[in-house]
Amino acid sequence: MKRLFGTDGIRGIANREPMTAQTAFQIGRVGAYLFKKETNPKILIGKDTRISGEMLESALVAGICSIGVDVLKVGVIPTPAVAYLTRFYQANCGIVISASHNPFEDNGIKFFQGDGGKFSDSEEEEIERIYLENQTKDEWPIGKNIGKAEYLSSVAIIKYVNYIKSTIPPDFNLQAIKVVLDCANGATFKVAPQVFKELGAEVVVIHHHPNGININLNCGSTHPALLQEEVLKQHADLGLAFDGDGDRVIAVDEQGNIVDGDQIMAICALNLLQKNQLPYQKVVTTVMSNLGFDQAIKKAGGEVIRTGVGDRYVLERMKSEEVILGGEQSGHIIFSEYSTTGDGLLTSLQLLKVIKEEAKPLSHLAAVMKKNPQIMLNFKVKDKKFFYRSDNIQRIIKKIEDELGEEGRILVRPSGTEPLIRILLEGEDQKRLEEFSQKLREALEKEEI
C-alpha cells in the first residue's frame, strides 16, 4: 500500500512533509538509484511557477547527482512537455514539480517513464519501498562519478513548441482567428502565446505574469470567469484557459459560454466519427463526465467507455481498447496519437482544427451536446474514512439516489490529492439537485466531520 504517492504523484503543502527539501533529496536519490546501472543514465526535470519549485528542484537535483546520475533541467514548462522531452532526449525518466490546479502553497512530484507514460502503481510502490528501507544509504560516489546538471530551458521550449505545431497539418494556420489565452500564471505563460502567435492568430493574453504565489489564483481552467469577460470585451472567436501545469484546458465560446472538457471531447470525437477516423468508434472518459456526453456520442454511432477518475486510468483503458481519444470533464484530454498524457496546448489546436474544418463558431459546435444539470460539492474533512462510517450521511445519500432514480445519479468519491470528499449530483431538474445538496450540507455540518 502506497504511503507517499496519491492518485497523481506525491503532493502536499510545500515545506511540510512529504513536500520538504529533505524528502525531495531522498526521492531524487531513489529515482536515480533505479537507473544507476543503465548506460549513461539521465533524468529530466521540469516545473511550474510556484515559489517552492526552486527549493524542491534544487533538492531533487542534488539527490540525483549524489547517486551519480546526470540531470537535464528544462525549467518552467508544461507537464506534457516533460513527457515529450523525456522521450526526445531519451532520458531514463522525467520528473515534474507541480501541484497542477492546486493553490500555490501546495506542490508535488510526479514521475514519467522513459517513454513518456506515468509511473504505474507498482513502480511508485517500488520507489516507496527503496525510500522507506533507506536502500540508497551506501551509495555515495566521489570524484568524476558524481552526476552533473545541464540547463536546457531555452532549447527545450523551442523543441516542445515545434512538436506541438507538428501535430496539425503543415498548411494549418490561425489567421483571422482572435483568441484570448488565460495562462493561469503558470507553466504555459511563455509557450502558449508563442504557439498561437507563430500560427498567425491574433492573441490576447491574460494571467501571464507569474510571481510564485499567483498561480491558479482566480484564473485558469478552474476559475474562467475573467476569461469569459475578456472574450466578450475583445469580441474574440474563443478563449482558452489552461491550468497551472498546462495539462488541462477549458474553452470559452464567442458568446462567453464555458465549453468544458466533455464538450471539447464531444466536438473532436464527432468530427473524427464523421471522417471515419475514430478507431472502433470508442471514446474513454471517467465516471465524472456528464451523461449528455454519452447521449451525444451514442447518437452519432459511437460508444463511451467510463473509468475511475484520473488520467492514468483513462490512458490505461485507452491502451487496452486501442482508443485514440479520451479524457475528463476537467479538460484533461489525451490524444494518444500525439501524446502520452493530457496536453492543454495540443487539445486547443485539435479543437481549433475542427472549428476551421467545419467553418462554424464554437458555440454552434458545442451545442451538439446537451448537458444535464450537475452540482459538484467539495467537503473538507478531517477523516475521509469517518465520512463513509457515518450512518446518517450514508442514509441521506441512499435516499437521494433512490429519489433521482434513472433520471440522474449521485457519485461520491474521496479526493486523491486533497482532504476533500467530492460529491457529484446530476439530474434533469436543477432545483431538485440544489435541494439535495442543501440536505447533504446540513448533514455534514451536523456530523462535524
DSSP 291-343: HHHHHHHHHTT-EEEEE-SSHHHHHHHHHHHT-SEEE-TTS-EEETTT-SS--
Statement: residue 2 has pLDDT above 70: no
Q: What is the pLDDT, as a whole number, of residue 447?
A: 67
161 falls within a domain: no
| Closest CA relative to residue 340, chosen from 75, 73, 85 | 85
Q: Which of 298, 333, 366 is the last residue of a domain?
A: 366
Q: What is the pLDDT, as a whole number, of residue 28?
A: 98
User: What's the distance, CA 152 to chain centroid?
Assistant: 24
User: What's the distance, CA 81 to chain centroid?
Assistant: 12
Distances 282 to 172, 297, 314 between C-alpha atoms, Å: 27, 9, 13
362 & 213 share domain:
yes
Q: What is the pLDDT, as a whole number, of residue 394?
A: 86
187 & 323 share domain:
yes
117 & 176 share domain:
no
Mean pLDDT (whole number) for 128-141: 95
162 falls within a domain: no
| Higher local confidence (pLDDT), 168 or 389 | 168
- Are the beta carbons of 85 and 46 closer than 8 angstroms? yes
Statement: residue 418 has pLDDT above 80: no
DSSP state of 82: H
The pLDDT confidence band at residue 414, using thresholds 50, 70 and 90, is confident
| Closest CA relative to residue 131, chosen from 5, 221, 248 | 5
183 & 152 share domain:
no
| Identified catalytic residue from 52, 66, 98, 100 | 100
DSSP SS3 for 154: helix
Mean pLDDT (whole number) for 1-12: 82
Task: State how far the Cα of 77 lies from the Cα of 247, in Å rounded to an integer.
Answer: 11
| Structural domain of 309 | 167-366
Q: What is the pLDDT, as a whole number, of residue 388?
A: 78
Statement: residue 227 has pLDDT above 60: yes
| Higher local confidence (pLDDT), 382 or 221 | 221
Q: What is the pLDDT, as a whole number, of residue 371?
A: 92
Q: What is the pLDDT, as a whole number, of residue 379?
A: 81
227 falls within a domain: yes
Q: Which of 350, 366, 382 is the last residue of a domain?
A: 366
Q: Which residue do the cell numbers 525510500 mark?
A: 131
Q: What is the pLDDT, as a whole number, of residue 225?
A: 98
Q: Which of 325, 341, 366 is the last residue of a domain?
A: 366
* CATH, residue 350: 3.40.120.10
Mean pLDDT (whole number) for 355-377: 95
Mean pLDDT (whole number) for 335-362: 97
Q: Which residue do the cell numbers 472518459 mark?
A: 285
Q: Annotate 57-72 with DSSP letters as a single string.
A: HHHHHHHHHHHT-EEE
Statement: residue 303 has pLDDT above 90: yes
- Are the beta carbons of 341 and 83 closer than 8 angstroms? yes
CA contacts within 13 A on the Cβ side of 284: 28
| Catalytic residue status for 58 | no
Mean pLDDT (whole number) for 402-406: 87
Residues ≥6 apart with Cβ < 8 Å to 33: 67, 130, 135, 136, 139
Q: Annotate 361-421 with DSSP letters as a single string.
A: -HHHHHTTSPPPPEEEEEEE-S-HHHHHH-HHHHHHHHHHHHHHGGG-EEEEEE-SSSSEE
Supply φ then ψ for residue 153, to 5 degrees.
Answer: -55, -50
420 & 283 share domain:
no
208 falls within a domain: yes
Task: State how far the Cα of 263 lies from the Cα of 285, in Å rounded to an integer.
Answer: 12
344 & 313 share domain:
yes
Cis peptide before 18 (omega within 30 of 0): yes
How high does pLDDT run on average in the chain?
Answer: 94
The pLDDT confidence band at residue 23, using thresholds 50, 70 and 90, is very high
The pLDDT confidence band at residue 382, using thresholds 50, 70 and 90, is confident
- Are the beta carbons of 138 and 15 closer than 8 angstroms? no
Tens-place pLDDT, residues 39-64: 999 999 999 999 999 999 999 999 99
Mean pLDDT (whole number) for 410-418: 80
Q: What is the pLDDT, as a whole number, of residue 448?
A: 61
- Are the beta carbons of 45 and 150 closer than 8 angstroms? no
DSSP state of 120: P
260 falls within a domain: yes
396 & 328 share domain:
no
283 & 414 share domain:
no
**Total number of domains constituting the chain:** 3
139 & 192 share domain:
no
What percent of the chain stands above pLDDT 90?
Answer: 81
- Are the beta carbons of 109 and 27 closer than 8 angstroms? yes
430 falls within a domain: yes
125 & 197 share domain:
no
Statement: residue 449 has pLDDT above 60: no
176 & 143 share domain:
no
Q: What is the pLDDT, as a whole number, of residue 389?
A: 76
Mean pLDDT (whole number) for 181-187: 98
Task: State how far the Cα of 387 lies from the Cα of 392, in Å rounded to an integer.
Answer: 10
DSSP state of 161: H
Task: State how far the Cα of 341 lies from the Cα of 358, in Å rounded to an integer.
Answer: 27
250 & 282 share domain:
yes
Instruction: Output the pTM of the full model.
Output: 0.91
Q: What is the pLDDT, as a whole number, of residue 309?
A: 85
* CATH, residue 425: 3.30.310.50
Tens-place pLDDT, residues 65-120: 999 999 999 999 999 999 999 999 999 999 999 999 999 999 999 999 999 998 98
Residues ≥6 apart with Cβ < 8 Å to 355: 177, 237, 238, 361, 362, 365
